[in-house]
Chains A and B, each alone.
Chain A
């Protein structure tokens, strides 16, 4: 079906729904690179005007990527909850935005309709929303998950402790973990990006974190962010695996470029569940995503990158993850050119994920070839804090020395807590208080001599 709109003497015509969505998308370098962006600013708004009048139900009739050739489309169509959709089925995309922002639409309604919202509907409405709309609507969504603690509760913010080291050096990683814990971070996960792809090296890292966690009874979970096939082998060999990590994207072909499909994700989830290591819940998956991943694998099917990204959240929600985060600024300026595009994308990703029922965090980040700096990250971090992001990254000094990019730091997390009154996951907060690392208000304490983690640091620092 084609879409038309006249503005004065200009007649706009878009051949199909995916072109209409792409033309309506706020500008970003990746859509220009793909050749799908609007040619003029007027065309972009014209496409939004046409999109606003489109019934939401239209997305159930017109698949953006063919059902026959893409298992993500099949997943979206086959698992769509018509009963949940009924409440919003009469709305247009423009009316859906109004409904999301209405005072009368709260957490309960958003939870109720979430299974009826497809990723394409979420992407479409986000294209009509200003940044403040993305913040406000996301702040009304609640996605709570559990493994050894409880994440996503109102007024709470968790941090993934990311202690990477360029050679996976055990003492280097332990040093960064201790630094993070002493700074009150690590409730989302202690998650290491390994430099090595090699199974014994990955198992060594899993054991390293496991021993530290058990020794100090830290109510959190660990993860080594290697490919899912490696994690499956680690599980088979009896390694202490809490969470299964995988990068995912919004088309079957892009996932194939990652070496995965839905069946493999299901197999890995079943393997992790069989270990029964979660004490409070069974959310065992950890996903990372990012706009541009499908295009970079030449697997975007002519879709704009934000719509592809929303489809990745369709994949994520099916596997009931503990954590999902967009690594928003990692991919580089050919996809998100500058701070403005990165900030917009971060807010879109968080909103779309939350709307679909995904426990969204964000790696607020940039590379040195992007037109961005710490001030842009401060802006996005603060906006996401207001929007109720489930978790952010904690990298020592915001400088990841293994992946060579800048993320958020332990200090950044403290800033956000202080500025917005955000607390840690309750079980982790209790533990920090027991360890005399925070006071009753959650403020970080200077650890006293002999404090166990400080003593551990001292023993590590003693040569020999």
Chain B
């Protein structure tokens, strides 16, 4: 019996794109191997959406590295609420507001970093190595406590930054997982954070992960933007990224 799978003669073209080209066919349909490959990628992306943020592990690692850290939670109680009610993911729950107020530093921090689950908790694994590189470059900056946020949307950082009196807030948040990128971290920088800030007032660095935008590159760009925002007293459209290293943004993937 001949092989019912017909391969495509142009598979060489795959070197130019990650797109699923030249997959071959069984009749008109995908070969079994390709169906299973796709299923695996989808399963990993779905897991990334639904796995919990390893909060305690993150807090322990931050403490071990000598950083003050605290955990907060949005007003969305669980993932099902989070997915249906983005507005709740942009607000803190009452207990978190109280603990942030209690932790407010006497001197306003120049910057507060927030590690958030967003739409991919697995992306949070990239936050710590990125911060390690960046923090060594922020000599002379008053860095506030590092906040670990669950069931968070990007705008939750406005609330967190305002309560801590931060001059800038940086959200390190899991992006909506793609099939081949279940663990992309997005970075949002907002100057003078307060509830009601719009996306036009933020700068964004997307697709941070070893296979996408690497830690070194992302830290370089973020450092550039932080310094620029401090100099200009603003973030967003008025703050251009001229670091020369910006990757294209995939804004559709960000959990706004």
Binding-face segment, A79-87, A140-148, A453-461: A453-461
Closest to B25 in A: A411
Q: Give a binary string over A253-291; 1 marks a CB under 8 Å from any B CB, 0 the rest.
A: 000000000000000000000000000000000000000
The yes or no answer to B22 lying at the interface (CB within 8 A) is yes
**Shortest beta-carbon distance from B7 to chain A in Å:** 9
The yes or no answer to B84 lying at the interface (CB within 8 A) is yes
Is B12 a contact partner of A172 (Cβ separation < 8 A)? no
Q: Which residues from chain A contact B86 at a C-beta distance below 8 Å?
A: 33, 334
The yes or no answer to A367 lying at the interface (CB within 8 A) is yes
Contact residue among B10, B14, B23, B252 (Cβ-Cβ distance under 8 Å from A458)? B10
The yes or no answer to B224 lying at the interface (CB within 8 A) is no
Closest to B207 in A: A166
The yes or no answer to A403 lying at the interface (CB within 8 A) is yes
Q: Which residues from chain A contact B139 at a C-beta distance below 8 Å?
A: none
The yes or no answer to A105 lying at the interface (CB within 8 A) is no
Is B178 a contact partner of A172 (Cβ separation < 8 A)? no
Contact residue among B13, B83, B87 (Cβ-Cβ distance under 8 Å from A369)? B83
Most buried by B among A166, A178, A334, A418: A166
Binding-face segment, B42-50, B101-109, B142-150, B157-165: B42-50
Q: Give a binary string over A177-218; 1 marks a CB under 8 Å from any B CB, 0 the rest.
A: 011001000000000000110000000000000000000000
Contacts A171-B16, A368-B42, A402-B250 known; A454 to B10 CB distance under 8 Å? Answer: yes
Contacts A166-B248, A172-B19 known; A399 to B180 CB distance under 8 Å? Answer: yes
Is B12 a contact partner of A396 (Cβ separation < 8 A)? no
Closest to A193 in B: B252
Q: Which residues from chain B contact A70 at a C-beta distance below 8 Å?
A: none
Closest to B248 in A: A195
**Shortest beta-carbon distance from A359 to chain B in Å:** 25
**Shortest beta-carbon distance from A40 to chain B in Å:** 18
A405 to B119, CA, bound (A): 14
The yes or no answer to A176 lying at the interface (CB within 8 A) is yes
Q: How many residues of B contact A (CB 8 A)?
A: 50
- Which residues 213-255 of B have a CB within 8 angstroms of A? 247-248, 250, 252-253
Is A461 a contact partner of B15 (Cβ separation < 8 A)? yes
A447 to B181, CA, bound (A): 33
- Which residues 434-450 of A have a CB within 8 angstroms of B? 444, 446-447, 449
A319 to B44, CA, bound (A): 43
Closest to B175 in A: A404
Contacts A334-B83, A368-B42, A418-B28 known; A179 to B177 CB distance under 8 Å? Answer: no
**Shortest beta-carbon distance from B40 to chain A in Å:** 12
The yes or no answer to B30 lying at the interface (CB within 8 A) is yes
Contact residue among B21, B41, B45, B85 (Cβ-Cβ distance under 8 Å from A176)? B21
Most buried by B among A33, A401, A417: A401
Q: Which residues from chain B contact A444 at a C-beta distance below 8 Å?
A: 25, 28
Contact residue among B175, B178, B250 (Cβ-Cβ distance under 8 Å from A195)? B250
Q: Which residues from chain A contact B13 at a C-beta distance below 8 Å?
A: 175, 178-179, 457, 460-461
A171 to B15, CA, bound (A): 10
Contact residue among A176, A401, A460 (Cβ-Cβ distance under 8 Å from B180)? A401
- Which residues 13-69 of B have a CB within 8 angstroms of A? 13-23, 25, 27-30, 34, 38-39, 41-42, 45-46, 48-49
Is B10 a contact partner of A399 (Cβ separation < 8 A)? no
Is B250 a contact partner of A396 (Cβ separation < 8 A)? no
A461 to B8, CA, bound (A): 14
Is B28 a contact partner of A179 (Cβ separation < 8 A)? no
Q: Which residues from chain A contact B39 at a C-beta distance below 8 Å?
A: 374
A447 to B17, CA, bound (A): 22
The yes or no answer to B176 lying at the interface (CB within 8 A) is yes
Is A179 a contact partner of B84 (Cβ separation < 8 A)? no
Q: Which residues from chain A contact B18 at a C-beta distance below 8 Å?
A: 166, 401
Is B178 a contact partner of A401 (Cβ separation < 8 A)? yes
The yes or no answer to B134 lying at the interface (CB within 8 A) is no
Is B83 a contact partner of A166 (Cβ separation < 8 A)? no
Q: Which residues from chain B contact A418 at a C-beta distance below 8 Å?
A: 27-28
Closest to A29 in B: B84
Q: Which residues from chain A contact B248 at a C-beta distance below 8 Å?
A: 166-168, 195-196
The yes or no answer to B99 lying at the interface (CB within 8 A) is no
- Which residues 385-438 of A have a CB within 8 angstroms of B? 395-399, 401-406, 409, 411, 414-415, 417-418
The yes or no answer to A169 lying at the interface (CB within 8 A) is yes
Is B84 a contact partner of A399 (Cβ separation < 8 A)? no
Is A178 a contact partner of B10 (Cβ separation < 8 A)? yes
Contacts A333-B84, A404-B250 known; A369 to B178 CB distance under 8 Å? Answer: no
Contacts A33-B84, A404-B176, A457-B12 known; A411 to B23 CB distance under 8 Å? Answer: yes
Is A368 a contact partner of B177 (Cβ separation < 8 A)? yes
Contact residue among A167, A367, A369, A454 (Cβ-Cβ distance under 8 Å from B9)? A454
Q: Which residues from chain B contact A245 at a C-beta distance below 8 Å?
A: none
Closest to B35 in A: A374
Q: Which residues from chain B contact A163 at a C-beta distance below 8 Å?
A: 19
Is B38 a contact partner of A398 (Cβ separation < 8 A)? yes
Is B84 a contact partner of A461 (Cβ separation < 8 A)? no
**Shortest beta-carbon distance from A109 to chain B in Å:** 36
The yes or no answer to A337 lying at the interface (CB within 8 A) is yes
Interface pairs A-B: 5 shortest CB-CB: A397-B20, A404-B178, A461-B12, A172-B17, A414-B28
17 interchain pairs (CB within 8 A)? A29-B84, A167-B247, A167-B248, A173-B17, A179-B10, A179-B22, A182-B8, A369-B49, A399-B38, A404-B175, A404-B176, A404-B177, A411-B28, A411-B29, A411-B30, A460-B13, A461-B12
Using a CB–CB cutoff of 8 Å, the interface residues on chain A facing chain B are: 29, 32-33, 163-169, 171-176, 178-179, 182, 195-196, 330, 332-334, 337, 367-369, 373-374, 395-399, 401-406, 409, 411, 414-415, 417-418, 444, 446-447, 449, 454, 457-458, 460-461
